[in-house]
Amino acid sequence: MLLKDDTRPLRQQVFEQVRAAGHMPRMDVARTLDISPGSVTTITSDLITRGLLQEVEDNQRGPSRGRPPIALRVAPSSRFVIGMKLSDERHTAILLDLAGNVIAEAHLASGALRQTTTEVLAEVSTLIRKLLHKAGQTHDSISAIGIGLPGIVDACTGIVQWSPVLTDTNIPLREKLMQELDLPVSLDNDTNLLTLAELWFGAGRGTSNFVVVTIERGVGMGLVLNNRLFRGALGPGMELGHTKVQLDGALCRCGQRGCLEAYVADYALVREAGTALDSDPRASNSAVTMIETLYDEANAGNEAALAIFRRAGRFLSVGLANIVQLFDPERIILSGERMRYDYLTTDDMLAEMNSMILPAGRTPTPVDIHAWSGSVWAKGAAALALSEVTDALLGENAA
């Protein structure tokens, strides 16, 4: 469901309504937006002339006599955008058309856990060339690029104050990317973009207020209020992973102690796994390998391994209870590759979460679990790029 927003030009509302529906007859557009059929006809005729919409047969209405009814859909090949997720292990990029269809996907291993800005720019350029070659597209066919990365990212200014994938701080990364790529670039925290993917393509469609919590290399949070991504007053808000759950507790990679992330994220599990498995976590070739081993041990009944996951689950329940208490969302979506570790999301964990929420006896907040990979994060970045393209084409300042 789209938010009815009278501040957007009517042509943009019409276009986004058709895009959200996939395809839609003119009468349904008029009814949904509560505008006259004549206004819809005038606006859609202009959008068709500009190559942004096209007419198709509305076969979803079932068989009918005479000419099939006509619906509208976004002209998919009129524009292309790239979405990219940067991480400390592997970067992922996807190419989308204007209708949101995935055309191609490509990956590139990161050169190191933390890199300089120059090194990251080089890898982004390499990955884009790889993606375009795979898709048979050229640089000139791309309208915009959206990029997400972990850390404190100001989406308005494009400045990355801190990120675990960068050695540098307070970097005007969007400006540097635009110079490097010679294309419009949108930049945001990766969890915000995953939340955008849920809003556009996933469980968030039709839900006005929801929260996404990610557990992977860190712990992130995205918040949707009234169908809009909420970033806070200054932009880099919703840092659930760096809320404190224990005073003077475990050391977090941000340099502070007692953060939720320091008990739930990958590196926290790896740290504890070294003790449970009686091995040096620094000797492992991969944190993922260490966690997989820990998970196998837990499934085999290793009490030390079980205790690590249960402890992480209890700390997660505290974080989720705080979310419900503060924002009262319609649902919480737990997302990321680590969501397949069911010890983090057991019934006991969810019951403990609900036991900490006032008032007692309220209807439990639904919790969905999506064990998604890097391509979905990249799809959220592409959704951000599509939003920017739509604003440029049809927004208040568009021609």
Which residue in this structure is represented by tokens 């700390």? 315
pLDDT (tens digit per residue) in 364-389: 899 988 766 668 889 889 989 998 99
The mean pLDDT of 211-238, rounded to a whole number, is 83
Strands (E), 4-101: 23-24, 53-57, 70-74, 80-85, 90-97
User: Does an H or E element contain 30, and which?
Assistant: helix 26-33
Got the DSSP string for 223-288?
EEETTEEE--SSS----GGGSBSSTT-SBPTTS-BSBTHHHHSHHHHHHHHHHHTTS-GGGSS-HH
Number of H helices, E strands in the chain: 12, 15
| Side chain identity, residue 166 | L
Q: How confident is the model at residue 255 (pLDDT cuts 50, 70, 90)?
A: confident
| pLDDT for residue 60 is more than 70 | no
Work out the end-to-end distance of the chain between its first and last CA atoms, rounded to an integer number of angstroms: 27
Q: How confident is the model at residue 6 (pLDDT cuts 50, 70, 90)?
A: low
Per DSSP bridges, beta strands 80-85 and 90-97 are antiparallel
Got the DSSP string for 97-165?
ETT--EEEEEEEE-SSSSB-HHHHHHHHHHHHHHHHHHHT--GGGEEEEEEEESSEEETTTTEEEE-TT
Q: How confident is the model at residue 315 (pLDDT cuts 50, 70, 90)?
A: very high
Higher-pLDDT residue of 66, 159: 159
Tokens of 208: 């006005």
What's the pLDDT score for residue 149?
Answer: 93
| pLDDT for residue 109 is more than 60 | yes
Q: How confident is the model at residue 3 (pLDDT cuts 50, 70, 90)?
A: very low
What's the pLDDT score for residue 372?
Answer: 67
| pLDDT for residue 90 is more than 80 | yes
Q: How confident is the model at residue 175 (pLDDT cuts 50, 70, 90)?
A: very high
Higher-pLDDT residue of 68, 316: 316
**CATH of span 79-196+376-394:** 3.30.420.40
What's the pLDDT score for residue 66?
Answer: 53
**Taken in order 57, 62, 63, 64, is the CA torsion positive or negative?**
negative
pLDDT (tens digit per residue) in 280-306: 655 555 667 788 888 888 888 888 888
Q: Locate the domains of the chain by residue range.
A: 10-74, 79-196+376-394, 204-373
State pTM to two decimals.
Answer: 0.78
CA 329/CA 357 separation, integer angstroms: 13
| pLDDT for residue 104 is more than 80 | yes
Are 389 and 81 spatial neighbours (Cβ–Cβ below 8 Å)? yes
| pLDDT for residue 357 is more than 70 | yes
Higher-pLDDT residue of 3, 111: 111
| pLDDT for residue 202 is more than 80 | no
What's the pLDDT score for residue 64?
Answer: 55
CA 104/CA 94 separation, integer angstroms: 6
| pLDDT for residue 1 is more than 50 | no
What's the pLDDT score for residue 398?
Answer: 76
pLDDT (tens digit per residue) in 119-149: 999 999 999 999 999 999 999 999 999 999 9
Does 204-373 match 79-196+376-394 at the fold level? yes
CATH architecture type of domain 10-74? Orthogonal Bundle (1.10)
**What 8-state DSSP symbol labels residue 373?**
-
Are 163 and 189 spatial neighbours (Cβ–Cβ below 8 Å)? no
What's the pLDDT score for residue 62?
Answer: 56
Its CATH class, for the domain covering 204-373, is alpha beta
Give the distance, in angstroms, between the CA of residue 241 and the centroid of all CA atoms in the same chain: 16
**Spatial CB neighbours of 301, under 8 Å, sequence gap ≥ 6:** none
